[in-house]
Chains A and B, each alone.
Chain A
């Protein structure tokens, strides 16, 4: 009995000792439901970065762990998770979210305790325009992404009339509005600006497109692949051949599966998370990713990997500055803002709002071969975020 008591005490002591030196990195993204395909990339990308940093942190005397959370693309769930996250004192950084509509309320919860969040995917301007000291993103913004699409359509495709649709979310509507603003400023004409929450029956909108005068030369859809996929399928089935453009919400192989390769072919999209082929440095990463998870890495996977590495780099620095002891959340948030990192996606440095100093925007076209990686990269634009208003 005494022996057993000793063992128990020993295990408890070891547990406590380890417990003090546990550092956790959380991720929040939709892992179930309609947007899981994109959300899973974020989780796996971040997980891979944490796995690879484990050995380095062990040398510093810390046990690094990864804790993924499922926000279900739902603001309520995201906020509930955020409350659980801030109550776990070992969590020192969050990679996420996928949806701006979820990131905005959740990040306000993190802000209460200065828990740092680095987003690989949130493009709504309000994410950083609130100037929270803990909120950063390494991807571009809708008020640049929308205009980038508008400029390409107007200048390079020669489009003069557009039919604009959005999904009524912070992301989709914001993107569509920015597209419209720039397109009109360039001299184009938006024949209609329509919102819809519909996910199956797009017939009324398709009829509007067929009846619109002047006949639109381009359809712009600000939304997520789960809506745009079936929309495009029905659109093409009904014989409308108008060119189509969307934002990074349709940057997923699921889009092609839902629309069918035939209908998806030729669709233009702008994205803030370029494909693996756009980043020479990401090739080795993609191989490791495939090896470990048996899945192809897509854009958000690479960005999540970088986002996690931003946090990890800042953590290492904060640990050193703190004399080898576990830093506070505040110290980590401050270190993240000062990070300068050569990531897979390029140089990562933040401005005073938490925007990346130079974000990349990609204009892509769906190849329609059934393999999302075949999509054609038409051009890359590097733009600084607009100055704080």
Chain B
């Protein structure tokens, strides 16, 4: 048993990172919106799904015309990010902003709105894809240039070219976001609004515009993550966002919601937990618990971590704002 675990371990850790980076990118969308509005934007999982669907469509239509696989991927990532980000802006503009303007103080109202929006987006995509292609399951087109694979460390890790792409793109996005938030004017504005919306507006910041951009950035990250998810796991459908969305949300809470490095860490931890238990549960329990329990175990551990550290891994204990 131990031997079996050790043989697979490098592979499991590698695949865990892969999944973890995707979760981290989605988790950032939750955490940024929460940081700014204290709203849990459950529609974010559908923003992720829209990115994935756009990725599939870009590959479907442009693959025959574009000989270069990487250019194609770049285009898919750009379009996926833009369309998903654009959808996020629309959602904010038409679903959340009216509530905010009306001064709704009940925290449940925007939350329920978010859930409603998420259903609307799911069925909208289902309707469009149904009318357009009469397809429910959308398959990512295979492109020769992106299909290679290598064996690392004497066969201990089997890695596809796609896996490297996922890891590199997501690290670039995460670094880019960190730079944006910490070093640019927009980043300062976002942090100011997160700190105190009304005071920030007194300092000459237009909060609506900052909130809109926050949705754009978070949504684009989610969209890019969706494209990468479709590239990696090949089949998507209008409901594919739900589970990754819930997990990314959990990752954001685990890292300390509102905290950007926390969301990344949370995503990576969750990716590792899920993959670890997904692979090893049957081996560890001698076949009594199968892979189907991977989420149960991962979430049990999360609950345990949150019992010990309720504010999340990188969250601050003092909730009071300066």
Residue ranges of A at the interface with B (Cβ–Cβ < 8 Å): 32-34, 36, 168, 192-205, 207-208, 210-211, 213, 226, 229-230, 233-234, 237-239, 254, 257-258, 260
Contacts of A237 in B (CB 8 A): 147, 149, 160, 234
Contacts of A198 in B (CB 8 A): 291
Cα A238 to Cα B275 with chains together (Å)? 16
Residue ranges of B at the interface with A (Cβ–Cβ < 8 Å): 4, 7-8, 11-12, 15, 18-19, 130, 136-137, 139, 142, 147, 149, 158, 160, 229, 233-237, 240, 274-275, 278-279, 282-283, 287, 290-292, 294
Answer whether A208 and B291 are a contact pair too, CB < 8 Å, given A194-B282, A238-B158.
yes
Answer whether A239 and B149 are a contact pair too, CB < 8 Å, given A196-B291, A234-B234, A258-B139.
yes
Answer whether A211 and B275 are a contact pair too, CB < 8 Å, given A204-B294, A234-B234, A257-B139.
no
- Other than A202-B233, A211-B283, A238-B158, give 8 A-B pairs with Cβ distance below 8 A: A32-B136, A34-B136, A203-B18, A204-B294, A205-B291, A226-B137, A230-B139, A237-B149
Cα A207 to Cα B139 with chains together (Å)? 22
Answer whether A195 and B291 are a contact pair too, CB < 8 Å, given A34-B237, A258-B137.
yes
Taking a contact as CB atoms closer than 8 A, the residue among A34, A36, A205, A230 that contacts B234 in the complex is: A230
Contacts of A34 in B (CB 8 A): 136-137, 237
Contacts of B234 in A (CB 8 A): 230, 233-234, 237
Contacts of A239 in B (CB 8 A): 149, 158
Q: How far is the CB of B68 from chain A (nearest CB, A)?
A: 21
| Cβ-defined contact, A254 with B137, below 8 A | yes
* Residue among A32, A199, A258 having the largest count of chain B Cβ atoms under 10 Å: A199
Cα A138 to Cα B268 with chains together (Å)? 51
Residue of A nearest to B149 (CB): A239
Residue of B nearest to A262 (CB): B142
Q: How far is the CB of A34 from chain B (nearest CB, A)?
A: 6
Residue of A nearest to B142 (CB): A260
Residue of A nearest to B238 (CB): A33
Answer whether A233 and B160 are a contact pair too, CB < 8 Å, given A192-B287, A194-B290, A207-B279.
no
Residue of B nearest to A33 (CB): B136
| Cβ-defined contact, A205 with B292, below 8 A | no
Q: How far is the CB of B287 from chain A (nearest CB, A)?
A: 6
Cα A260 to Cα B147 with chains together (Å)? 14
Cα A351 to Cα B149 with chains together (Å)? 55
| Cβ-defined contact, A211 with B7, below 8 A | yes
Cα A254 to Cα B7 with chains together (Å)? 36
* Residue among B12, B279, B291 having the largest count of chain A Cβ atoms under 10 Å: B291
Cα A202 to Cα B237 with chains together (Å)? 16
Taking a contact as CB atoms closer than 8 A, the residue among B18, B136, B229, B283 that contacts A208 in the complex is: B283
| Cβ-defined contact, A203 with B292, below 8 A | no
Taking a contact as CB atoms closer than 8 A, the residue among A194, A207, A213 that contacts B12 in the complex is: A207
Q: How far is the CB of B169 from chain A (nearest CB, A)?
A: 18
Cα A239 to Cα B155 with chains together (Å)? 12
Taking a contact as CB atoms closer than 8 A, the residue among B137, B229, B275 that contacts A229 in the complex is: B137
Cα A202 to Cα B282 with chains together (Å)? 15
Q: How far is the CB of A370 from chain B (nearest CB, A)?
A: 13
Residue of B nearest to A233 (CB): B234
| Cβ-defined contact, A194 with B291, below 8 A | yes
| Cβ-defined contact, A204 with B279, below 8 A | yes
Cα A349 to Cα B142 with chains together (Å)? 48
Contacts of B282 in A (CB 8 A): 192, 194, 208
Cα A198 to Cα B244 with chains together (Å)? 11
Contacts of A254 in B (CB 8 A): 137
Contacts of B283 in A (CB 8 A): 208, 211
Contacts of B19 in A (CB 8 A): 201, 203
Q: How far is the CB of A137 from chain B (nearest CB, A)?
A: 26
| Cβ-defined contact, A203 with B158, below 8 A | no
Contacts of B149 in A (CB 8 A): 237-239
| Cβ-defined contact, B290 with A200, below 8 A | no
Answer whether A199 and B240 are a contact pair too, CB < 8 Å, given A229-B137, A239-B149, A239-B158.
yes
Residue of A nearest to B293 (CB): A195
3 nearest A-B pairs in the assembled complex, by CB-CB distance:
A204-B278, A230-B235, A211-B8
| Cβ-defined contact, A211 with B4, below 8 A | yes
Cα A207 to Cα B237 with chains together (Å)? 24
Contacts of A258 in B (CB 8 A): 137, 139, 235
Cα A322 to Cα B136 with chains together (Å)? 46
Cα A30 to Cα B240 with chains together (Å)? 19
Taking a contact as CB atoms closer than 8 A, the residue among B136, B237, B275, B292 that contacts A168 in the complex is: B292
| Cβ-defined contact, A200 with B240, below 8 A | yes
Residue of B nearest to A37 (CB): B136
Q: How far is the CB of A77 from chain B (nearest CB, A)?
A: 15
| Cβ-defined contact, B278 with A205, below 8 A | yes
Residue of A nearest to B140 (CB): A233
* Residue among B4, B8, B234, B283 having the largest count of chain A Cβ atoms under 10 Å: B234
| Cβ-defined contact, B292 with A196, below 8 A | yes
Contacts of A32 in B (CB 8 A): 130, 136
Q: How far is the CB of A263 from chain B (nearest CB, A)?
A: 9
Contacts of B233 in A (CB 8 A): 200-202, 230, 234
Q: How far is the CB of A358 from chain B (nearest CB, A)?
A: 36
Q: How far is the CB of B159 from chain A (nearest CB, A)?
A: 10
Cα A234 to Cα B147 with chains together (Å)? 11
Cα A202 to Cα B139 with chains together (Å)? 15
Cα A194 to Cα B290 with chains together (Å)? 5
Residue of A nearest to B232 (CB): A201
Q: How far is the CB of A41 from chain B (nearest CB, A)?
A: 14
